[in-house]
Every structure is written in structure tokens, then in C-alpha cells.
A and B are shown apart, each in its own frame.
Chain A
């Protein structure tokens, strides 16, 4: 069975939801501990959301130096699929696996809502089961969610098709060019602020076409990587 690691840092909140999403997709969830410099042979890794190290210094800044991150950075360079969600995305930028950074939301408020996204790149390990341009609705909840990068980096991301998700309808945090998520050049490392792992099971997700809380638009992240791995 395909084994997908879910990392827990001190202050991680969404590791259990991420592990559940992995299991619902049909893979085995393997808990990875921040202080353990060992990936235990997993086939992919999810860095879940939360407030690792209380967001001290900068969101994700201290987690970057956790022993497990050294292993993840090395493996990511060799092609290991890595998904960073919210705080996990912040960790990926601090670890230089993805460009840019996140600063406080432009309106300064914590935001929690069901957010519509356009999926613009369906060639990554984590998005191949979506269709190009597809709109999905998944929860968004953050305080430091404003994606920023210099104009050159933004142009490069756009030019190479590395903007994977864009906010639709409303930009909830002031992110440059409505960017909600990006990928590295190889397409194995993806980071986004919204939370696919909270929209994987009827009864517990956002409102969907079939009624309240029926939305499961996030599940295809996890089935995508599963099928990318098993071919």
C-alpha cells in the first residue's frame, strides 16, 4: 500500500485531518515527527496546517530547521511528492523549496471561510485528477496568508505555469495576483494556503452541490498523488 507521511511539529493542528484524508483516498498515513530525521520510507509527504512553534520569528521559520525537514528537502530535490498546506506552505517557502513568502493578511483579520479556487495547473503530482480551469471549494483559515514575491519571481511563476491555484471571486488576504498556491519547476512540490484536507468527506466539508457540508473537492489532491505514485 502507498504510504504517505504526515509531519507533526509542535503547534501543528491539522495533522489528524490530513492523515484521515490520506486514508480516505486509499493510502496508508504514516506519522512523521519533527525531531526524527527519518522519513520511514514514505512515498510522499504532507506538511499540514497549524501554528508550528507558535509562528515565532516568522510563520514556518523555526520548523524549517527541524531534523525531519533536512530529510524532506533532500528527498524533494530527488522527486518526492510534498504537499504543504497553510502553515506547511509557509514552511516550504522558508525551506526554499518554493519561492516567495507569506505576510499578514492585508486586512489584518484572521479569515475563515469556504473559498473558491481555480485549478490552473493539473500536471503536478497533487492536482492531476482535476481538470484545467476547474473551480473547487475548500476551507481557508489563516492570519498570515498574503502571498508575496518580487515581480520577477511572479512573472517567472506565471510564465512557467507554476501558479497552481488562484482565488476566485474574492482575494481573501491580499495575495499578489490572487495566487493561492504554487508548485516547484518539477511539479512534485506544491504549497497552498487553503485546506483540501478539510473537504474530503460528506458531512464534514464545505457546502456542496448536493447540500450543506457535502463538498469533497479536496479529496482529489490525495487521490492524485496516490495515482501519480502507483502509475
Chain B
């Protein structure tokens, strides 16, 4: 089993109300170090076989066309989750 991770974040110019709420809560719990928070989404796409260049290309296309809305979000990373794959096989 291979796994591809697609990370999606709100665009920098879009206010992120959820991230702002989290940033407001952190100091109340003693985490005063963090100036701001932005909240995004992580998608884990699993394939039966290996993560080939073709699989990565399909994941990039899915990221652009379905997993994100380009008006409000950016796909910031698409990559093979190699560490997790090894753990799963161990």
C-alpha cells in the first residue's frame, strides 16, 4: 500500500476565521508563543500498489480539481507518505 498526502491551506489573503479562533484559544491554555494560526486540511490518498509518478500526477490533479477550491484555497504540497508506509509494513 502506498499513500499520497495532499495538503490544502486557505489562501494567504483569505482571512481564516477558524485559525483565528484557535489562535485566540492557545494563550488561554498557556501557549503564549504563537503569534497566529492558520488551519488547513490534510488528505491521505491510499493506492493498492506503489506511489508512481502517475499516481502523484493524479493526486495533484485531484487536489486542484476536487480537494481544493482555487478561489479560497491553495494546494501547498503533494507528496508520498513514505514513513507511514514503512510503519504499516513493520
Contacts and interface: CB of A to CB of B under 8 A. Distances in A.
Given A61-B66, A150-B13, 18 more contacts: A57-B66, A61-B69, A65-B66, A93-B71, A94-B69, A99-B71, A101-B69, A103-B10, A103-B15, A104-B18, A106-B15, A106-B17, A108-B17, A108-B21, A148-B14, A149-B71, A174-B15, A174-B17
B72 interface: yes
Interface string A103-120: 111111000000000000
Interface in B1-32: 10, 13-15, 17-18, 21
A104 B18 CA distance: 8
B71 A100 contact: yes
A58 interface: yes
Contacts of A174: 15, 17
A104 B10 CA distance: 12
Contacts of A93: 71
B75 interface: no
30 contacts: A57-B66, A57-B67, A58-B69, A61-B66, A61-B69, A65-B66, A93-B71, A94-B69, A99-B71, A100-B71, A101-B69, A101-B71, A103-B10, A103-B14, A103-B15, A103-B17, A103-B72, A104-B17, A104-B18, A105-B17, A106-B15, A106-B17, A107-B17, A108-B18, A148-B14, A148-B71, A148-B72, A149-B71, A150-B71, A174-B15
Most-contacted residue by chain B among A103, A105, A107 (CB, 10 A): A103
Interface string A38-66: 00000000000000000001100100010
Interface in A74-126: 93-94, 99-101, 103-108
Contacts of A103: 10, 14-15, 17, 72
Nearest to A153: B71
Contacts of A57: 66-67
Interface of A: 57-58, 61, 65, 93-94, 99-101, 103-108, 146, 148-150, 174
Interface residues of B, number: 12
Nearest to B71: A101
Contacts of B14: 103, 148
Contacts of B15: 103, 106, 174
A104 B20 CA distance: 12
Contacts of A107: 17
B17 A101 contact: no
A99 B15 CA distance: 18
Contacts of B72: 101, 103, 148
Nearest to A100: B71
A105 B10 CA distance: 14
Contacts of B13: 150
Q: Rank and list the top 6 A-B pairs by shortest CB-CB distance, nearest first.
A: A101-B71, A104-B17, A101-B72, A108-B17, A108-B21, A101-B69
Contacts of B69: 58, 61, 94, 101
Most-contacted residue by chain A among B13, B17, B21, B66 (CB, 10 A): B17
